[in-house]
Chains A and B, each alone.
Chain A
Amino acid sequence: MSLPPELQSALTRRAFLGRTTQGVGGLALASLLGPAALAAPGPSGALARLPLPQKAKRVIWLSMAGGPSHLETFDPKPKLAAMHGQPMPESFTKGQQLAQLQGQKLTCFGPQHKFAKFGRDQTEICELFPQIGSVLDEICLIRSMTTDAINHDPAHMFMNTGSQIAGRPSMGSWVTYGLGTEAADLPGFVVLTSLGKGGQNQPIAARQWSSGFLPSKHQGVQLRSKGDPVLYLSNPPGVSRDSQGGDVDAIAKLNLHRERFVADPEVATRVAQYEMAFKMQASVPQLMDVKDEDPKTLALYGCQPGDGSFAANCLLARRLAERGVRFIQLYHKDWDHHGGVKDGVALKAAEIDRACMALITDLKRRGLLDSTLIVWAGEFGRTPMSQGNGRDHHNKAMTVWMAGGGIRGGLVHGSTDELGYAAVDKVATVHDLHATMLHQLGVDHDAFRFKFQGLDAKLTGVEPCKVIKDILA
């Protein structure tokens, strides 16, 4: 007989209760209960069986916040260079949604940097990214991505949740809800942010890593480079680890004593969560402390310990991946080049080029690249038309790249038109990207659902979408 899921979940908690009411104090619980017990309904998340072979066990999602120009990064457009300064042909733009350029005179704006050839197939990418170029055979460029939204906030929401309406779960929450986590003493979904030096640091709402209508334990936990890495992680001043442990132990003892009278399964969960919090207080600082890293590794990434840079976050991403964290999302801001796109992208390239190469290289040499899916994506692309000496937001074309996790390296998938205005060949949507990511994790996106407001809500939404099969290894 199959039990309704809510009853199954209650049963799991009760089973858990049975094990914790044997009069054991808090500190001893750690050895009795694996992280599995915390991640009810089961160690493997809501999906007891994966319908598809799991190519990737975890995701590192590099969010280039602000909307990188595809025309100065990964999508060469010689024709646009030739038409620099000429009116944008109306056939491209008539009746189209633009952001700040809406209703303005539209002029072609040639790529501001040269492109160079890299990799086995001599693929052209912007010469500002030689380090990424050096590992281009690990990378699949998708030059035909599109999105629905055209302002930062809704576009981030769409990229993260598949919807432009607030309150939906972020993809990291979906993934940890479905697959659980392998990290014993760390959250399953971790977020890191870094600022660019160009001053175009658009705001990012915490809703971008919210668990929405999924259980709160799947929300992304932000790891910060300064102050407490996790909010409220440090003991109050004057409280040692021992005395904190003593208090946690006393709290557990009193809670479990009371539990005998109230028979409320929440009590045992509470005890376990205190235990988990106490463990995190030790494990997170260990994670953040990179002094055990080989100086050569630091040199590979090009960062100093604790400098809060994107490169430092890439190194932390690798450490999180090693510890079994399921979904690791890095935001690097400052890509919003309405003006000064030439200098702006050069600055960004200096901040991310080596770090991206290092992450791929480091994961590969540790044998983790095959099981880690890396995604590099902004929230939208930018117009081939000028906005002064910059480019406006644009949702009809952008380049996204993926590496590892069963993706074919050295591939270019899809293309935009000759001016880079719209994706035309093998057009891919955000929902396709999500479906592909889930597919690599062993999840059938269409069957992966959660009841919300009577709907079988899915990360990939209600419109049909597809796994991008061409890019799979």
Chain B
Amino acid sequence: MSARPALVCLGLCAALCAVAEPVEFNRDIRPILSDNCFACHGHDASHRKAKLRLDVRADALAKEAFVPGKPEASELVKRLFLTDPDEVMPPPESHKTLSKEQKELLRRWVAEGATYQNHWSYDLPAKAAAPTVDTAIDTLVEARLRAKGLRPVGEADRRTLARRLHLDLLGLPPTPEVVDAFVADRAPDAYARLVERLLASPHYGERMAQGWLDVVRYADTIGYHSDTPRNVWPYRDYVIRSFNQNKRFDRFTLEQVAGDLLPDTDVESKVGSGFNRLLLTTEEGGAQAKDYQQRMLTDRVRAIGAAWLGQTTGCAQCHDHKFDPFTQRDFYALGAFFADIHEPDIGRREEGMLVVTPADERRLAELAAAVNRARQALESALGGLGAELAAWEKEAIEDLAPAVPPAAPKAKAKGKAKSPDAALAAKAPAILQKPAAKRSAAEQSTLRDYLLSLHPEALKSQRDAVAAAQREHDAFRAGLPKSLVTTKAAVVRTVRILPRGNWMDESGEVVKAAFPHYLPQPKLDGRTPNRLDLARWLVSRENPLTARVTMNRLWMQFFGTALSKNPGDLGAQGELPPNQALLDWLAVEFMDSGWDVKHMVRLIVSSRAYRRASATPAELATSDPFNRELARQSPYRLDAELVRDNALAIAGLLVPKVGGPSVKPYQPDRYWENLNFPVRTYAADQGESQYRRGLYVWWQRTFLHPSLLAFDAPSREEACTDRTRSNIPQQALVLLNDPTYVEAARAFAGRTLATAGNDEQRLTWAWRQALQRTPEASELATLRQVLAERRKSYLADPAAAQAFLKVGLTPPPTTVAPAELAAWTHVTRVLLNLHETITRE
């Protein structure tokens, strides 16, 4: 295989380079120790072997693990090279083995003095010197390329740049006209103007929201067991709006974690506080409150860890983290910040806060007033009904069987009249048996309602008016958006450290809210911090993690891979970013700018690094196969939602409306057959809701829409900081056969046939819609062949053409012969299925 010699060279080079440079703890040593040694010789005291810890130099020295400068006298080094299975480290039962190079590195590290460094991401980021803010990214990228001896590729062609910017900033493809205009625009600021135009688009917020919704695990359903719906979509719109308005990320954080506690709390910040309610909940019968209290606490700690801190916290539910300093106490103390949230432990969530515009609010008040007016009219009419009521009451008392025990509702079964209202009927006998003087006002009122319910003919018009006003009010209210938000509970839950995570074991110490002990602590003057303190701490200048974590993820959106490649873990088992100076510069600039997201996006997409071509020259393919050094751009397949958006946009079907309730595209019958409590059937939306963007698709956690799932959309049961990007047969089945894509192909064909020209011109037109480039002769020839063959087969089988054209809700154009439209639909279907069509290059 031809690639092998090149790779051997690479390995050799790495070894040579390592010899030239002094060993650096964070880069060279910590990854080895963390992965191979810390599980038994690290933070977790309860599992520590031989009382030796290697993560703290003083402790390692105290136990004589090594003698700095003297590898031959160091136990640690000796043990690495032993062959006796009882003596060698790591021991065979750990299934860990060190390579020769790793052993040699450890030996050299000890020889060079065994110096330690703090873990990189726990020190505050520092801003490397750069001539100007605008050129800093390239200064830092190119400094590293020079050091590595890598030559960057040139700028991508302008068509690719326009396509890349549209897909990265809006998630929608450009039209060929937009690309042509950009290609023709030779003004020096053409690129900058395009960027500004896209940043100002309402679809920018949609594109940015998608990644955040993964991180906070936004979904329309509760997740556990019955996976029933809950009201949260206004939170999704809040996220979109926040990005569109370029809400500062610190404010964005405050609102989500503690929007209810802000001094200037308002509808917006309360909807944002819905973040705290996005977790998994259950309505399963037999679920135990304490079990789910614990599940919800742990769920929230993991989410905060993933979204803001880039720390994997989950393991500390049961024991101290094995690799990071995050202890079990830290875990429960972080969870205790959320112990004030008002919510049921198990069962149905509340309907949520009404999220209304001032106009809605006025209308609601008017309708409520109308109900009151109707009630008053009824009341005054009732005043003239005293005699009747007394008579009815007497009748009702007589209807009660003699010696019936109080509150036995079956008594009324003997009566002549039967109330249609079961609830009133159940309460009435007990009230009727009380002497009138001893009845409370509420009981009097219930009794009156009961008596009226027995006599529906009385005051019919007044009562109908009340009912009608109430119906109108309720219908309007039911149609208003509602969203789960955070409110403070009257009683704060007690949080204990649960031994081994066992909620049945209440022997653990009670803990109060506290910040992870190994990170900088804010001054609180002895006060126990609350959620608002947590939110402020997350986005304080002293927090070394949040800005790095956020910038790391943002980078991933524009390059396909994050600077530290596991965006959910900047701890010891994460990756020291190859270009730490760059990540740190971005983090500090982000804070310096006042947490200005658009500013950072602008800096990134304006950089030379971003604008490079993504084709990989052979030399880079071997010297930097995973493009960690950024001498080029990377091509990657669009995210699940964007695969959909792209097809609908090209087809001309996309309804570009922003926000609103979630939508239900076509879905295979019985896909929800395994849902229960209640059994559900899926009803696909009619009309414009069928053609909305992917991020609005109903997010059913346990059965996510199968065409999104096929393209790796996460179920959002847990925070997802990094989607997988798979390439599987189900994706082909979706793009070929899902009615959404078949209908899109037909609409695309209809658009194509509506343009003037011969086959060749139309094929070219369609090609340019999908790919914004002109097809080559051989490409056209392939499409021509599809067209010719399908024309022939559909002319021979008109029924097949008719059947094909019936897919989807939109009626096919009647001006085109069915066989012709069907044949063209095959052509456009091919275009929508191309790898290039679903790839951002």
Which residues of chain A have a CB within 8 Å of any CB of chain B? Answer: 1-3, 6-7, 10-11, 14-15, 18, 38, 95, 97, 99-100, 102, 150-154, 165-167, 193, 201-207, 210, 213, 215-217, 221, 224, 226-228, 230-240, 242-244, 246-248, 250-251, 253-255, 257-258, 261-264, 266-267, 269-271, 273-274, 276-278, 280-281, 338, 392-393, 446-447, 449, 453-456, 462
B807 touches A236 (CB 8 A): yes
Q: Whole-angstrom distance from the CB of A108 to the nearest CB of chain B?
A: 20
What are 11 contact pairs spanning A and B, CB under 8 A?
Answer: A15-B1, A154-B224, A166-B718, A203-B674, A203-B676, A243-B790, A248-B736, A266-B839, A274-B732, A277-B729, A280-B733
Q: In the bound complex, do residue A273 and residue B284 qualify as a contact, i.e. CB atoms below 8 Å apart?
A: no
- Flag if B730 contacts A232 (CB, 8 Å): yes
Is B286 in contact with A254, judged by CB distance below 8 angstroms?
no
Q: Decide if B807 touches A237 in the complex (CB within 8 Å).
A: yes
Instruction: Determine the chain A residues whose CB is within 8 A of the CB of B833 once the complex forms.
Output: 247, 251, 274
In the complex, what residues of B have CB within 8 A of residue A210's CB? 715
Please indicate the chain A residues that have their CB under 8 angstroms from the CB of B730 in the complex. Answer: 221, 231-232, 277
Near A by CB (< 8 A), chain B positions 608-656 give 614-616, 621, 625-626, 635-637
Segment at the A interface, from B161-169, B473-481, B571-579, B689-697: B571-579
Do the beta carbons of A205 and B702 come within 8 Å of each other? yes
A437 to B280, CA, bound (A): 31
B574 CB contacts on chain A under 8 angstroms:
454
For residue A2, give the distance in angstroms from its CB to the closest CB of chain B.
7
Taking the closest CB of chain A, its distance from the CB of B3, in whole angstroms, is 6
Contact between B737 and A235 (Cβ–Cβ < 8 Å)?
A: yes
Contact between chains at A250 and B830 (CB < 8 Å): yes
The answer, yes or no, to whether B99 is at the interface (CB within 8 Å) is: yes
Q: Among A165, A257, A271, A454, which residue has its beta carbon within 8 angstroms of that of B573?
A: A454
Are B727 and A273 interface neighbours, CB within 8 A? yes
State the CA gap A281–B737 with chains docked (Å): 11
Q: Is the CB of B11 within 8 A of A1?
A: yes
With A153-B224, A166-B280, A266-B637 known as contacts, the answer to whether A240 contacts B288 (CB < 8 A) is: no
B836 in complex: contacting residue of A224, A237, A258, CB < 8 Å: A258
- The stretch of B57-65, B378-386, B664-672 in contact with A is B664-672
With A and B bound together, what is the CA distance between A247 and B742 in angstroms? 13
How many Å from the CB of A205 to the closest CB on chain B?
3
Is the pair B736, A269 in contact by a Cβ cutoff of 8 Å? no
| Nearest chain A CB to B532 CB, angstrom units | 28
A148 to chain B: closest residue by CB: B502
B234 CB-CB contact with A under 8 Å: no
Q: Which residue numbers of B lie inside 8 Å of A, CB to CB?
A: 1, 3, 7-8, 11, 34, 93, 95, 99, 223-227, 280, 282, 284-288, 291, 312, 314-315, 322-323, 504, 566, 568-569, 571-574, 614-616, 621, 625-626, 635-637, 668-671, 673-677, 701-704, 706-707, 709, 712, 715, 717-718, 724, 726-734, 736-739, 742, 776, 778-779, 782-783, 785-786, 789-790, 793, 799-807, 822, 826, 829-830, 833-836, 839, 841
Q: Which residues of B contact A271 (CB under 8 A)?
A: 835
Q: Are B841 and A262 in contact (CB under 8 A)?
A: yes
Q: What's the Cα separation between A271 and B834 when bound, in Å?
A: 10
How many Å from the CB of A390 to the closest CB on chain B? Answer: 12
A10 and B829 within 8 A (CB): no
Min CB distance B356 to A, Å, is: 34
The 5 closest A-B pairs by CB, nearest first: A454-B573, A238-B804, A99-B286, A205-B702, A238-B803
Contacts of B728 in A (CB 8 A): 216-217, 273
Indicate if the CB atoms of A203 and B702 lie closer than 8 Å: yes
**Residues A243 and B789 in contact, CB atoms below 8 Å apart:** yes
B834 to A206, Cβ gap below 8 A?
no
Given the contacts A15-B1, A234-B737, A453-B569, A97 and B288 also touching, CB distance less than 8 Å: yes
CB-based nearest B residue for A216: B726
Inter-chain CA distance A258–B701, complex, in Å, is 37
- Closest CB of chain A to B717's CB: distance in Å? 4
Quick check: A273 and B729 within 8 Å, CB to CB? yes
When A243-B826, A257-B778, A277-B729 are in contact, do A237 and B806 touch as well, CB less than 8 Å? yes
Contact B227 A227, beta carbon cutoff 8 Å = no
Decide if A453 touches B312 in the complex (CB within 8 Å).
Answer: yes
Q: Is the CB of B669 within 8 A of A227?
A: yes
Contact (Cβ within 8 A) A232 B315: no
The residue that A205 contacts in the complex, of B323, B703, B727, with Cβ under 8 A, is B703
Find out whether the CB atom of B7 lies under 8 angstroms from the CB atom of A455: no
Q: Within 8 Å CB of B724, what residues of A?
A: 213, 215-216
Shortest beta-carbon distance from A10 to chain B in Å: 6
- Complex: how many Å from CA A14 to CA B323? 35
Which residues from A are CB-within-8-Å of B709?
206
**B650 CB, nearest partner CB in chain A, Å:** 16
Report Cα–Cα, A262/B287, bound state, in Å: 54
Contacts of B704 in A (CB 8 A): 206
Interface SS majority for chain B: loop
Q: Which residues of B lie under 8 Å from residue A1 when comparing CB positions?
A: 8, 11
A254 and B3 within 8 A (CB): no
Q: Which of A99, A153, A271 has the most CB of B within 10 A?
A: A153
- Hey, which chain B residues are within 8 Å of A453, CB to CB? 312, 314, 566, 568-569, 573
A263 in complex: contacting residue of B95, B227, B616, B799, CB < 8 Å? B616
Contact between chains at B778 and A151 (CB < 8 Å): no
CB-CB under 8 A from B830, the residues of chain A are 247, 250-251, 254
CB distance from A195 to the nearest CB of B (A): 8
B805 to chain A, nearest CB (A): 7
- Contacting residue for A165 out of B287, B702, B718, CB 8 A: B718
B15's nearest neighbour on chain A, judged by CB, is A1
List chain A residues, Cβ under 8 A from B802. Answer: 238
Q: Which residue of B lies closest to A185 (CB)?
A: B729
Closest A residue to B676 by CB, please name it.
A203
Contacts of B726 in A (CB 8 A): 215-217
**Least Cβ–Cβ distance between B5 and chain A, in angstroms:** 12
Contact A152 B284, beta carbon cutoff 8 Å: yes
Chain A residues with Cβ below 8 Å from B822 are 238
Cross-chain contact A255 with B803 (CB below 8 angstroms): no
- Contact flag A227-B668 (CB < 8 Å), given A152-B284, A237-B806, A247-B826: yes
Write out the residue numbers on chain B whose beta carbons fall within 8 Å of the beta carbon of A393.
286
Contact in complex: B625, A251 (CB < 8 Å): no
CB B34 to nearest CB in A, in angstroms, measures 8
* CB neighbours of A167 from chain B (8 A): 717-718
Note all chain A residues with C-beta closer than 8 A to B793: 240, 242-243
In the complex the two chains form, is B3's CB within 8 Å of A207's CB? no
Chain A residues contacting B839 (CB-CB under 8 Å) are: 264, 266
Q: Are A2 and B504 in contact (CB under 8 A)?
A: no
Sample of 18 more A-B contacts, CB < 8 Å, known A154-B224, A203-B675, A454-B572:
A2-B99, A97-B504, A150-B288, A153-B224, A153-B225, A166-B718, A203-B676, A203-B702, A204-B674, A205-B701, A206-B702, A227-B670, A243-B826, A246-B786, A247-B736, A255-B835, A257-B776, A277-B736
Q: What is the bound-complex CA distance between A15 and B833, given in angstroms?
A: 24
Q: Which residues of chain A are near B674, meaning CB under 8 Å?
A: 193, 203-206
A99 and B286 CA atoms in complex are apart in Å by 4
Residues in B neighbouring A228, C-beta threshold 8 A: 668
Distance of A273 Cα from B803 Cα, bound (Å): 27
The answer to whether B676 touches A201 (Cβ under 8 A) is yes
| A276 and B729 in contact, given A203-B675, A243-B826 (Cβ under 8 angstroms) | yes
Chain A residues near B227 (CB-CB < 8 A): 203, 205
Question: Chain B contacts of A263 at CB under 8 A?
Answer: 615-616, 621
Q: A251 CB to closest chain B CB, in angstroms? A: 5
In angstroms, how far is the closest chain B Cβ from the Cβ of A407?
Answer: 26
- CB pair B573–A7 under 8 Å, yes or no, is no
If A7-B625, A262-B841, A454-B572 touch, does A236 touch B1 (CB 8 Å cutoff)?
no
- B800 neighbours in A (Cβ, 8 Å): 238-240
Q: Considering only CB atoms, which chain B residue lies closest to A246 in the complex?
A: B789
Instruction: Say how far A384's CB is from chain B's closest CB, in angstroms.
Output: 17
Q: How far is the CB of B567 from chain A (nearest CB, A)?
A: 11
Q: Are B727 and A449 in contact, CB atoms less than 8 angstroms apart?
A: no
A285: min CB distance to chain B, Å: 13
Instruction: With A152-B225, A238-B803, A454-B571 as known contacts, state yes or no: A270 contacts B727, CB within 8 Å.
Output: yes
